[in-house]
Structure 1
């Protein structure tokens, strides 16, 4: 339970005692899905001892070697203030530090600790409006210069720039009290101060954030790249994307955009200041270009450098039988439930009849959808908006149709009508077969589905336009930290709808949901959790603006010598800060 003054006093604060989560790297069971769950706990560790290093040694770990990482496409951004995609987040853990960080060991326990900060923050007045972070001593950049509170403030300041808009904006919006956070202050590139409004710096080690409204999730938000320190003298604006200045155990040695990224040790990183990371391998090399099929084939063979590698893409459906059928390969799977839920967004501006939206929920064939993805190992049917990994998650089924849907009930709701709906989808090899599954499932119930492929590079821009000409489209959303406060507000707060760039893809804008979002957002996490779960159910039963399809699972592979790669239940992808290479 979270109490008002807990962050300043308690040694460990358990926010959620029993969440459904999947074990990592098991390689056990029948491979049929996520039926084997381990208990997950989420906690904030506020005893300074919990946030100090060094991190506990990984049993059996050895040092040395080159860790290889395979991905089809390059990272969108490496600038921490611009990073909002999980692949880059995972790699940035190696060379970027933030005020706080989630510690994950793969056993289902997720603990928020101070990273740069001595603790995950102090609620100064006990009302969540003012948060103070004191930096640890001995923090150094890659050139040996000290990391200061002013550098953290400058990192936050530069995130206000319109040129840095790709990253998360929670802290910026909280500081200004507005979603239009950079309407007046646009950061240091546009004549603004190096310390943003609402932030104060005291000496070299103390930074305080003062918010207009209570923001009880600040310790979580502080784990994101917005709080990464950036020395002003090293800032190169948008070019910083190509060479961020390292504060973690590794630094960038070479970055060939679209080809490879090489990290080497940062000799000035002090393990005594780090409660999370190790630096077991000497070098980290990411290479880009191979498809999911090629990556899987390389991991299955595990020859040469590939024995020391991990792939990013999920194993494609066509190769899953081979992976699951080979015990030696199967035991190298990195598999488990992720924080993401895939759902069919219904454009409520165009599909205004509630019965039609309810019929879509009854008609969906989740079993066929999972089969097209490769079977139940790739996810589990979802009937709620929130992931089972979310604090306070409650399972419910407002439109019980079983795994394959209830066609008769859908037809009953349609009452003989045959609505013609346009389904837009990303035009790539992964989504083409899924579009066919959606079309077949809905047409069984009498819908007429017109497929509209969209180039994958512009997909989210198009469906994020308020006046888009589509009725249905697929989206996958995961929390930014294990709270519904990072799911339901961006997806269903109608007050945030703009002409372009929306995340409320259903364009739901109703007063009771908007009001509940505002109320819940101001609550402490323990009180808010059941209210968010209640709102999830209200949204689905009263408005049915989406069709939840599956809670997704990760299914990737490592080479034979690549050890202790842990699937993160926070960012939903493998993380490497405690990995090592068998000698």
Structure 2
């Protein structure tokens, strides 16, 4: 993903980010009253030392079980870009150059993780130096080196590893076509990427062709996770990433279960954010929304020390029982997140803008919410989330609460339009697909609904030649600001044969140029205004999506889980402070 960065003094950066909520239910009633999203500041911390502050009441021991509905699409850090796997990876298994420090108290800092600080800037923001801490070790006791960090970034260039964030690759190459001259370390390629130098085992230096002030934030992405060359199994690294964090993989039965145990070589004195309170984590990949919620509602046995992830929300069929139970109601993890759910049109296939406008008018957002869970979001009409700095509200295609089939028919000229709708094959998304097919009929849309395996969903949709017309996708900012929301989703210069984040395959010259121009601004207030304006312009001239819902996390945890909170950067249950009561 190409993203030339804004220029401003990193020493005084303070960026707005969603305040992602609370650790338990705050009194929402069964009519679905919503907590409003607020903002908080993310600042660069001066102190990156470990250990992490102790969590009040925490103790060592016990097993935490995590219920999910499918296996991770990718656990390889350089391909990891979906929230459940990213949370698991960065909180438990591997570390990055920097990371976010949060404790559920509304304060958020960027700190050095593997690095001693958030980076040393020079050369007008083009050069960034990171020095690794002493005592960093992998799960086998071998040292983590700067060469390993460079090698991890190098392998992210490989055409064989197409998923994952693309910031560092594009910045280092000075182009979104980062594979033009360098294709990673495989097949005889260099083990250190272009514009990176590693003068010794503790030092890595980035010399970007252009200034990039957001490097400390990008360095917290999984791209900077170290990978020792001798452990690299290329496309098979998903099956057994090598641990640099507090836990390592004991067993991993794909599609069934993963068990994590302590990495005895992880040194808490080097880590400013993580703990290793539980003896073990067991991740079950086979639970439905209803199964997981019923288990947690009953709160017996292993469920007492279990929790659900973002992909498993309390379903509408179980929610009334949960809020009617005072004990269960206290164990809801709830709060607004930075995600917007939207129906993406494949512009290679849905070429008539009136079809896309008609879909927006016809969309019954209130009805969709009843299927999705009225407590799990609010109707959306914009690209940017209300949690995003500079967000401005508008509604260009106002079909009322339940959509306007007549307006849609008018735009379609009375013709019926067939669309192939791909949906993630989960309990909730099956219901959404059935609802959409039924509710869109009156407006003139005939939907052919087709399931895609959950652990392959974004891989399949990320293929430029995918065979679908429309699909539901959730996107949240990688770090504060419109620059990690609009360009990744809509910059046409970022389109590649596979591994795309621009799932609408939008390539609009005017919008592409405006994205580049905004990203080069030094005035953040002006940038916020222009992101908001571009949001509306894209939805006026191009209409690549039909915004559906602003997300709200609504999941459950067992009565013996302690230290849980809703993580602002991930919009998911934070794992780094968990303990068993």
Matches within 5 A, 1:42-81: 42-47=41-46, 49=47, 51-81=48-78
1:404 to 402, 405, 411: 402
Q: Which residue of 2 aligns with 1:326?
A: 325
Q: Which residue of 2 aligns with 1:384?
A: 382
Matches within 5 A, 1:353-392: 353-375=352-374, 377-392=375-390
Q: In structure 2, how many angstroms separate the alpha carbons of the residues matched to 1:237 and 1:357?
A: 40
Q: In structure 1, how many angstroms separate the alpha carbons of the residues matched to 2:211 and 2:356?
A: 36
Q: Which residue of 2 aligns with 1:208?
A: 205
Change (3 A) 1:274 1:365: same
Contact 2:28–2:34 (8 Å) recurs in 1:
no
Change (3 A) 1:470 1:320: same
2:152 to 150, 155, 164: 155
Q: In structure 2, how many angstroms separate the alpha carbons of the residues matched to 1:362 and 1:545?
A: 14
Contact 2:9–2:213 (8 Å) recurs in 1:
no
Q: Which residue of 2 aligns with 1:198?
A: 195
1:277 to 274, 296, 300: 274
Contact 1:22–1:34 (8 Å) recurs in 2:
no
Q: In structure 2, how many angstroms separate the alpha carbons of the residues matched to 1:343 and 1:319?
A: 25
User: 1:98 Cα shift?
Assistant: 0.2
Please, which moves more after superposition, 20-29 or 105-114? 20-29
Is the partner of 2:201 in helix, strand or coil?
coil
Contact 1:52–1:273 (8 Å) recurs in 2:
yes
Change (3 A) 1:278 1:20: closer
Contact 1:15–1:526 (8 Å) recurs in 2:
no
User: 1:5 Cα shift?
Assistant: 6.0
Is the partner of 2:177 in helix, strand or coil?
coil
RMSD: 2.7
Q: Which residue of 2 aligns with 1:26?
A: 25
Is the partner of 2:160 in helix, strand or coil?
helix
Per-residue CA deviations over 1:101-158 (Å, capped at 9, x if unaligned) read 11222233332221111222233223x3222222222322233333221221111122
Matches within 5 A, 1:213-224: 213-224=210-221
Contact 1:45–1:119 (8 Å) recurs in 2:
no
Q: In structure 2, how many angstroms separate the alpha carbons of the residues matched to 1:459 and 1:246?
A: 26
Q: In structure 1, how many angstroms separate the alpha carbons of the residues matched to 2:550 and 2:163?
A: 25
Please, which moves more after superposition, 532-541 or 68-77? 68-77
Change (3 A) 1:518 1:370: same
Change (3 A) 1:541 1:456: same
Change (3 A) 1:174 1:71: same
Q: In structure 2, how many angstroms separate the alpha carbons of the residues matched to 1:143 and 1:498?
A: 37
Contact 1:33–1:380 (8 Å) recurs in 2:
no
Q: Which residue of 2 aligns with 1:14?
A: 14
Say whether residues 1:485 and 2:483 are aligned partners.
Answer: yes
Q: In structure 2, how many angstroms separate the alpha carbons of the residues matched to 1:432 and 1:529?
A: 37
Q: Which residue of 2 aligns with 1:315?
A: 314
Change (3 A) 1:33 1:107: farther
Contact 2:433–2:449 (8 Å) recurs in 1:
no
User: 1:467 Cα shift?
Assistant: 5.6
Say whether residues 1:529 and 2:532 are aligned partners.
Answer: no
Please, which moves more after superposition, 546-555 or 156-165? 156-165
Matches within 5 A, 1:437-456: 437-444=435-442, 446-456=443-453
Q: Which has the higher contact order (CA 8 A, sep 6+)?
A: 2
Please, which moves more after superposition, 555-564 or 343-352? 343-352
Q: In structure 2, how many angstroms separate the alpha carbons of the residues matched to 1:140 and 1:473?
A: 42
Change (3 A) 1:248 1:466: closer
Contact 2:342–2:472 (8 Å) recurs in 1:
yes
Say whether residues 1:394 and 2:392 are aligned partners.
Answer: yes
User: 1:194 Cα shift?
Assistant: 1.9
TM-score, length basis structure 1? 0.90
Gaps of 5+ in 1: none
Per-residue CA deviations over 1:370-424 (Å, capped at 9, x if unaligned) read 001122x11111111122233332222223344323455545555x533423141
Q: In structure 2, how many angstroms separate the alpha carbons of the residues matched to 1:153 and 1:467?
A: 32
Q: In structure 2, how many angstroms separate the alpha carbons of the residues matched to 1:145 and 1:236?
A: 18
Contact 1:154–1:195 (8 Å) recurs in 2:
yes
Q: Which residue of 2 aligns with 1:303?
A: 300
User: 1:175 Cα shift?
Assistant: 1.1
Q: Which residue of 2 aligns with 1:342?
A: 341
User: 1:165 Cα shift?
Assistant: 2.4
User: 1:66 Cα shift?
Assistant: 1.7
Q: In structure 2, how many angstroms separate the alpha carbons of the residues matched to 1:466 and 1:164?
A: 16
Matches within 5 A, 1:131-280: 131-280=128-277
User: 1:465 Cα shift?
Assistant: 5.2
Q: In structure 1, how many angstroms separate the alpha carbons of the residues matched to 2:110 and 2:452?
A: 38
Is the partner of 2:206 in helix, strand or coil?
strand
Count of equivalent residues: 571
Please, which moves more after superposition, 555-564 or 463-472? 463-472
User: 1:274 Cα shift?
Assistant: 1.8
Is the partner of 1:207 in helix, strand or coil?
strand
Contact 1:384–1:536 (8 Å) recurs in 2:
yes
TM-score, length basis structure 2? 0.90
Q: In structure 2, how many angstroms separate the alpha carbons of the residues matched to 1:76 and 1:499?
A: 19
Q: Which residue of 1 aligns with 2:98?
A: 100
User: 1:561 Cα shift?
Assistant: 0.0
Is the partner of 1:146 in helix, strand or coil?
coil
Is the partner of 2:317 in helix, strand or coil?
helix
Change (3 A) 1:531 1:286: same
Change (3 A) 1:258 1:357: closer
Change (3 A) 1:381 1:152: same
Q: In structure 1, how many angstroms separate the alpha carbons of the residues matched to 2:165 and 2:140?
A: 28
Q: In structure 2, how many angstroms separate the alpha carbons of the residues matched to 1:170 and 1:235?
A: 22
Is the partner of 2:241 in helix, strand or coil?
coil
Contact 2:16–2:480 (8 Å) recurs in 1:
no
